[in-house]
Structure 1
Amino acid sequence: MPTTVALAEKLQRLRAADGQFQLPGSRVHRYKSVRVTAARLDAFEAALGVKLPDEYHEFLEFVGYRAGPFDGLWTPEEVIRNSWSRAPALPFPYRLDTMDGARAEWRLKAGDQTFHHLRKDPPFGYDAPGCVLIGVQPKRASTALVTTGELTGSVWEVSERWNAWRPAWEVGRTWSFDSWYSSWLDRSLAELARKS
Structure 2
Amino acid sequence: MAKKNSETRGAMEMSMGTIVTIVLLVSVLVLGLVLVRSIFSSAKGVVDLTDQQLRGEVEKLFSEEKKLVIYPGTRYVDIKQGKTDGVGIGIKNLNRGTTEEDKFSYTVEVSDPDLRRKCSVTEKDVEGWIVTGRQEINIPLPVGEFSSQKVLFEIPVGAPLCTFRMRVNVKDGTSSYATDFFDVKIVS
TM-score class normalised by the smaller sequence: under 0.3
Bigger helix fraction: 1
Q: TM-score, normalised by structure 1?
A: 0.23
Report which of the two structures shows the higher radius of gyration computed on alpha carbons. Answer: 2
Query: Which structure's relative contact order is higher, taking Cα pairs within 8 Å and 6+ residues apart?
Result: 2
